[in-house]
Amino acid sequence: MQAGQARRADAPVVALVLDAGGARSAYQVGALEVLLPAVAERGTRPRVLVGTSAGALLTAALGATAHLEPDEQTTRLDNVLSHTTKQNVMRPLWRQVPDVVVRYASETLGLSHFRLRGLFGSQPLAQTLATHIDWDALHRNVTDGVIGSVAVTATSVRTGRVTMFTESGSPVPRSAPEYHGRFVAARLDVPHLMASAAIPVLFPSVHVDEPAEAAGWFVDGATRRRAPLAPALELGADRVVVVGTGGLRPPAAEPDLDRVAVDLGDAGATLLGAVMDDPLRHDLRRLTDLNGLTGDAELAPILERHRAARGRDAYRTVPYVAVAPEDGEELARTAIQVFRANHGSLMRTLGDPDLQIVHRLLGSDSPLQGELLSYLLFDPDFFAAAAAFGRRDALRWVEQNPDLWRTDALPDP
């Protein structure tokens, strides 16, 4: 542990929660460039790291650099992001088509040995994670106590059970049935991250072999998780820094827009929104509601007795930082703009037809097309724009909350 990393015994345990987002995770990288130094300036560092889907990839990268100063951490994180371009994430669609056709045909004919598990091959991402995350440093940081726990969330395909693969210096918490989840002690590696980020249908489900008691097929951790903040609290966090990529507030009512004809792309975007955005937004509201109740002198004892009767620890007030886009459509609009500029011409399409094909298949005139593209647009220009939004929103939070932390509900816009 470096000299600057020593933790005061009375310092609160801070958790960093990074939610799902696909290519939108560049927004999180930008936000962390502001938030990690801001937390360090107030005398502490994140000791519990929890990530889901693309957030899990960033979580592992942060765990591997936790012994470094915040500025160096974010520089390393930028480097990891710069290598997650399309060619380093998924196989070209034209190379994947024969495999998809054969596997789909074999299932149609009842030859279940050749199962189709996803439209895009994700082998390049596995190689990228193996190369650009210092796994030895991650394990060393946990062993040395620089960080307490690193957890990544995945979903069991057959049972739908949420699994938090957790590398920790302490025993992992027991399963939490009310969250339909379980903690599993693990030595984290590439398969755990691949499982957490395997968006169903788009990317193939992933078989995790270790630990043996949790072996099986898994997909994206965002698909069934109901309470994104709960794992961090179960792992002992006193304070939570959460960075999401979906709208921080629900979309405004637009009755006229609801009457516009829809297509496959619209349905997909709606499903992704429900999976990626809504749970985090609802869990933040639940956290602030509970903070209000625990601060009530009359209600707090009642809540404590209720929790004790269930064998659970008492609720406590949990200060938080929450950064996510105020305008949930901003990243979608930017994705469309970057797509048209970088992938819309005939020459660009001939050079890399994958996104154009997906764009057409899902309904290129859909008003929600940008929402879908923003999860798949592993493009440096989109990364740069998304990261700038993240830095802007994190700076806004720091300016509006000089003490950094708050416990009450977010003000109305």
Catalytic residues: 53, 220
Biggest CA pair distance of the chain:
68
Residue type at position 143 = T
Q: Where are the beta strands (DSSP E) in 187-294?
A: 206-208, 216-220, 239-243
Which residues lie across from 113 on neighbouring strands? none
Q: How far is CA 327 from the centre of its chain?
A: 18
Write out the H or E segment, with its range, that includes residue 302: helix 299-309
DSSP 266-287: HHHHHHHHHHHTHHHHHHHHHH
Phi and psi for 304 in degrees, rounded to 5? -65, -40
Task: Report the alpha-carbon angle 362-366-367, nearest 5.
Answer: 140
Q: How far is CA 274 from the centre of its chain?
A: 14
| Count, residues in the chain | 413
127: tokens are: 């190689």
Exposure pattern of 172-200 as b/e (b: 16+ CB <10 Å)?
bbebbeebbbbbbbbebbbbbbbbbbbbb
Assess contact for 165 and 59: CB atoms under 8 A: no
Give dist(CA 301, CA 314) in Å, integer: 9
